[in-house]
Structure 1
Amino acid sequence: MLREIFIASNNKGKIEEFRAFFSAKDIAVRSLQDLPEEIDVVEDGETFEANAEKKAVEIGRKFHIAVLADDSGLEVDALNGEPGIYSARYAGEEKNDEANNKKLLQKLAGKDNRTARFVCALAVYDPERGIKTVRGTVEGEIGETAHGTNGFGYDPLFYVTEKDCFMAELNREEKNKVSHRARALHELDAEWQKWSS
């Protein structure tokens, strides 16, 4: 029985979203924050899927455990898909949310088309069963100013069309129903049921 999953992330926001999902399935979550050593997988893939798969496989093989890795970000149509796989470090390697949002607004200044989507690729690796990768997306637009105090990353700028509000205005329960990460997790749900039986 799979009763523990390792999340290949140091991002507190992501880890909490994963923990909320898996707690309902009685699956405990550990992450890179629980390790005594710092693990840094170089994300040099050209797609979200490639980066997620690399993180899951490298860590899974190193520790001989089941690993779930995510690579996610924002694609803005008027910017030809930017920031894309560089979403976390759009404004620099220090991965600063405020700086990233500021750069995004600057690049969109004067543009009428502000349609965008959040994308999440999830790769789950198990030493005995191999790897499975899925994708989840949520469509929206980039606002001209920040709204809301929940969430992280680009959430304050991302207007969720179907909810008629910004991502950072949703509480955790609401976000966990509509976010790109939630949708990718539900894509994996059938696979988890098979692996956990």
Structure 2
Amino acid sequence: MKVVLASHNQKKMVEMKAILSQMGVEVLSQAEVGMDLEPEETGTTFEENARIKAQAVMQATGLPAIADDSGLMVDALGGDPGVYSARYGGPGLDDTGRWQLLLKNMAGESNRACKFVSVICCAFPDGGEVMARGECPGILAQGPSGDGGFGYDPIFYLPQLGKTMAQLTPAEKNQISHRARALAGFQKEWERQRHGTDQ
């Protein structure tokens, strides 16, 4: 089955392709289907935003569309930046600027518990929908380490591995990340809904 990814994030595309290909799903970019859509994320939850993006691209292309809405939730900030993770600090900041701002806002804070959250939604032309959520708990580091991954990966520390997310290989990250966990749940729900199994 072919699905269109409702994202222009090339690093997210690589991760999604690597994991979904194991399910026999071919992920196409919007460019590959002649589309350049950037739906406005007006939702207040990861679920709402994932659905908005998947529905918009599905309706525009007539093909099944899959979207991921993800972000970092920091306990001491009441769950922020949350759904606004990619827009944290305003449009003038890049990934590095956003995590630098977050570390500044967390200066002196002892409670550094946080989690990455990912919600995957696939919208089908027949009106069907598959959705799943994955979470990866961690600790907000005092400073960045590693040059892999993207977003907040350099400051997201995994105590059980003794590394930040940015220090993991792509294969390691695809085993434990929030997106990998969401896609694992997505696969079970996909099989249950689309193939009539209860696995």
TM range (shorter): over 0.9
Distance 1:135 1:56, change over 3 A: same
Q: 1:162 Cα shift?
A: 2.7
Q: Verify: 1:100 aligned to 2:98, yes or no.
A: yes
Number of aligned residue pairs: 195
Structure 1: 4+ residue segments shifted above 4 A: none
Distance 1:191 1:95, change over 3 A: farther
Q: Which of 84, 88, 97 does residue 86 from structure 1 map onto?
A: 84
Partner of 1:123: 121
**Pairing of 1:14-163 with structure 2 (within 5 A):** 14-94=12-92, 96-163=94-161
Q: 1:192 Cα shift?
A: 2.9
Q: 1:92 Cα shift?
A: 1.6
Of 68-77 and 30-39, more deviation after overlay is shown by: 30-39
Q: 1:196 Cα shift?
A: 6.1
What RMSD in Å do the two structures reach over aligned CA positions?
Answer: 1.6
Q: 1:6 Cα shift?
A: 1.1
Unaligned runs of 5+ in 1: none
Distance 1:150 1:100, change over 3 A: same
Question: Structure 1, residues 74-101: CA drift from partner, whole Å, max 9, x if none?
Answer: 0001111111111001022255101101
Of 140-149 and 157-166, more deviation after overlay is shown by: 157-166
Distance 1:118 1:69, change over 3 A: same
Contact 1:88/1:95 (<8 A) preserved: no
Contact 1:160/1:166 (<8 A) preserved: yes
Contact 1:122/1:134 (<8 A) preserved: yes
Contact 2:23/2:187 (<8 A) preserved: no
Mapped partners of 1:160, 1:127: distance in 2:
39
Unaligned runs of 5+ in 2: none
Mapped partners of 1:166, 1:135: distance in 2:
22
- With normalisation by structure 1, the TM-score equals 0.93
**Pairing of 1:3-22 with structure 2 (within 5 A):** 3-22=1-20
- With normalisation by structure 2, the TM-score equals 0.92
